[in-house]
Amino acid sequence: MRRDFSSLGRETFDLLIIGGGITGSCIARDAAMRGLKVALVEKKDFSHATSAANSKLVHGGLRYLKNFELGLVRESLRERRIWQRIAPHLVYPLPFLVPQPASRKGTLTLRIGLTLYDLLSFDRKWLDDKDQRLPGHRGVKNDDLKARAAVAADSGYPTAVEYHDCQMYAPERLGLGCLQDAAARGAVIVNYAEAMAIEKDQAGALTGAVVRDRIGGGETKVRARVTVNAAGPWADGVMAMAQGGTPSHRLIRAKGIHLITRALTAGNTALAMFVGEGHFFVLPWRGHSIIGTTDDVFDGPPDAVTPTDADIDKMLAAVNAGLPSAKLTRADVLHAYAGVRPLIDESAPGANGDSYKKSRKAEFIDHAEDGQPGFFSALGGKWTTSRHVAAGAVDDIERHLGRKPKRAPTDRVPLGGESTRNFARFVAALQATHRHVAPDILANLARNYGAAAEDVIAEANGDRSLLEPLSDKLPDCGAEVLYAVSREMALTLEDVIFRRTGLGTLGDPGSAAIQRVAALMQRRFNWSVEETARQVAAVTAHFRWGAAA
């Protein structure tokens, strides 16, 4: 996948997608697999915002049962299994313990809810790989709880209930895989390409957009029979641009923060804490824990979202109230990140919004109802159901184009075209073949790239130093940097540190690691000393979180 901005102006596309998060990426993959001519533009880098700044879960949404959103839960559980099947290297089972108080208050309700959850996920074992099959819920006794989550046992919870969902190794790479599949089928995919204006014909029908190249400069007109707004928390801004300043549909933006701390559980064990009307997760993550998330209405511009001191203190207080033995302080927070979820606002104008209780359902809106044929908006939704939402969206697009919808096999074709199949056996085979490379480096390559791991190793071209860790904290290597630049459209140091590799996952990987990556990219892009310093400064700024609200 290589960037070619000029190709955007060379032909008329069936659809232009504005937004390279997971929704736009899934729509691009689906449409390209149906043979449509697709262009996708993203004003920054792919999955740079909401699609990466999340809990890294693919889940059914247990808490949605409280709102009786059974259809959404069932859809999510089905899609969870599909992601496991098409991307087993990136999506894998994660056991959750729900600690139970000595009073047993609420335990019966939880067990009933989890029984329903199991019934709705009746297909959770319909997978060829036995390691991916999820068991039903069960009770966990005190000794087991102490061994796996002493922080809960020591906080006064004598037992727990266990259920399973799934975790993503790298959500931004899952989104990138969808775009790579689209590009392999002829889609024109361009990052750092910002839609500046919407083009219309004399009858008011949309005919595309004026797009600015934020890397090389210049603009081009992208002609398209359909324009799809998949801009996530910026979607109402794209609607406003197309609709003369006032968007036809309103969004509530929900801010969620996550903290990276020392490990609070043992091994691959997560905690789901349901406290009052809220909840938080403690998720295992590369030898540490991700703790999240908050869910508060955010009124600022999406580009400005950041974890504040008040956000961090609120999250720490919630964790220490639910798990007092954790005794977390600000000193335990290694990193913090924030994202904004776009939720459909169906309340009356002027009413107070409550983001936590808003539905995560998605809508694909045909703006012909607003007098703008050829313009569609994908609003709301959740990560897990993005593939399914995309399939329905492309059905609507095909109908608009006068075609009979014919579903693409996006639920069956492996991401990247080739599956690792049983992941444990795939890793073992990779390690047996490349005994000169450290096992943890190879395991990380297998997770990040799946069947393409051999291509990354080949990028080293015999230079063993490129297959050594760049940081003493994580097993990412120099060959990944070169591969990201040559094959994955990485254009900035931020792209590589935060979205092509996992170097930024646990916070600041250290100046030495950042400088090593910068040096590799400087040689490929011929950056000046000044430009290299600017790139390094932009990356390190991301690790200066925490400010007054």
pLDDT tens digits along 82-102 = 999 999 999 999 999 999 999
Residue 77 belongs to a domain: no
Confidence of residue 467 (pLDDT cuts 50, 70, 90): very high
Beta bridge partners, 88, equal: none
Confidence of residue 362 (pLDDT cuts 50, 70, 90): confident
Bridge pairing between strands 278-285 and 270-275: antiparallel
Q: What is the rounded CA–CA span in Å between residue 11 and residue 39? A: 10
Query: What count of Cα atoms within 13 Å lies in the side-chain half-sphere of residue 175?
Result: 28
Instruction: Report whether pLDDT(203) > 70.
Output: yes
Statement to judge: residues 134 and 182 lie in one domain: no
Rounded alpha-carbon distances, angstroms, from residue 395 to 74, 264, 364, 369, 386: 21, 45, 11, 18, 14
Q: What is the rounded CA–CA span in Å between residue 66 and residue 69? A: 8
CB 20 within 8 A of CB 191: yes
Instruction: Report whether pLDDT(128) > 90.
Output: yes
The pair of three-digit structure tokens given for residue 274, joined into one six-digit string: 């349901």
Residue 354 is predicted with a pLDDT of: 55
Determine the average pLDDT of the residues in 37-54: 97
Statement to judge: residues 452 and 516 lie in one domain: yes
Residues 6+ away with beta carbon under 8 Å from 300: none
Determine the average pLDDT of the residues in 381-400: 96
Residue 450 belongs to a domain: yes
Q: Any idea which of 201-205, 316-320, 366-370 has the lowest mean pLDDT?
A: 201-205
Confidence of residue 545 (pLDDT cuts 50, 70, 90): confident
Q: Find the domain containing 235 and state its range.
A: 5-50+172-249+353-400
Instruction: Report whether pLDDT(348) > 60.
Output: no
Residue 195 belongs to a domain: yes
Q: What is the pLDDT of residues 412-455, one digit of tens each?
A: 999 999 999 999 999 999 999 999 999 999 999 999 999 999 99
Residue 447 belongs to a domain: yes
Q: What is the rounded CA–CA span in Å between residue 258 and residue 219? A: 37
CATH number for position 429: 1.10.8.870
Nearest alpha-carbon partner for 151 in 320, 329, 330, 336: 320
Residue 202 is predicted with a pLDDT of: 86
Beta bridge partners, 384, equal: none
Name the domain boundary from 318, 344, 370.
Answer: 344
Statement to judge: residues 160 and 260 lie in one domain: yes
Statement to judge: residues 283 and 232 lie in one domain: no
Confidence of residue 286 (pLDDT cuts 50, 70, 90): very high
Q: Please, what's the largest Cα pairwise distance for the chain?
A: 72
CATH number for position 370: 3.50.50.60
Confidence of residue 356 (pLDDT cuts 50, 70, 90): very low
130 phi and psi angles, rounded to 5 deg: -60, -30
Statement to judge: residues 187 and 227 lie in one domain: yes
Q: What is the rounded CA–CA span in Å between residue 384 and residue 76? A: 6
Number of domains in the chain: 3
Residue 437 belongs to a domain: yes
3-state secondary structure 489-528: CCCCHHHHHHHHCCCCCCCCCCHHHHHHHHHHHHHHHCCC
Statement to judge: residues 472 and 524 lie in one domain: yes
Residue 294 belongs to a domain: yes
Residue 82 belongs to a domain: no
Q: Any idea which of 50-59, 267-276, 360-369, 519-528 has the lowest mean pLDDT?
A: 360-369
Nearest alpha-carbon partner for 376 in 358, 356, 352, 392: 392
Higher-confidence residue of 166 and 361: namely: 166
Name the domain boundary from 400, 432, 465.
Answer: 400
Residue 67 is predicted with a pLDDT of: 82
Q: Residue 110, Cβ neighbours under 10 Å: how many? A: 18
Residue 346 is predicted with a pLDDT of: 67
Higher-confidence residue of 549 and 234: namely: 234
Instruction: Report whether pLDDT(244) > 90.
Output: no
Determine the average pLDDT of the residues in 196-217: 94
Beta bridge partners, 296, equal: 255
Q: What is the rounded CA–CA span in Å between residue 411 and residue 181? A: 13
Statement to judge: residues 182 and 327 lie in one domain: no
Residue 276 belongs to a domain: yes
**pTM of the complete model beyond 0.85:** yes
Q: What is the pLDDT of residues 489-524, one digit of tens each?
A: 999 999 999 999 999 999 999 999 999 999 999 999
Statement to judge: residues 101 and 114 lie in one domain: yes
Statement to judge: residues 218 and 321 lie in one domain: no
CATH number for position 296: 3.30.9.10
Nearest alpha-carbon partner for 209 in 12, 362, 441, 50: 12
Nearest alpha-carbon partner for 64 in 346, 353, 360, 339: 360
Three-state DSSP at 45 gives coil
Residue 549 is predicted with a pLDDT of: 44
Residue 360 is predicted with a pLDDT of: 52
Statement to judge: residues 135 and 191 lie in one domain: no
Q: What is the pLDDT of residues 99-126, one digit of tens each?
A: 999 987 888 999 999 999 999 999 999 9
Q: What is the rounded CA–CA span in Å between residue 76 and residue 157? A: 30
Tell me how long the chain is: 549
Which uninterrupted H or E stretch holds 200? strand 193-200
Q: Any idea which of 109-118, 147-156, 360-369, 391-400 has the lowest mean pLDDT?
A: 360-369
**If you average pLDDT over every residue of the chain, what do you get?**
94
Statement to judge: residues 277 and 340 lie in one domain: yes
Statement to judge: residues 265 and 156 lie in one domain: yes
136 phi and psi angles, rounded to 5 deg: -75, 175
Residue 351 is predicted with a pLDDT of: 47
Instruction: Report whether pLDDT(245) > 90.
Output: no
Residue 15 is predicted with a pLDDT of: 98
> Among residues of the chain, what percentage have pLDDT more than 90?
87
Q: What is the rounded CA–CA span in Å between residue 346 and residue 360? A: 12
Amino acid at 184: A
Q: What is the Cα Rg of the chain in Å?
A: 23
Bridge pairing between strands 270-275 and 91-100: parallel
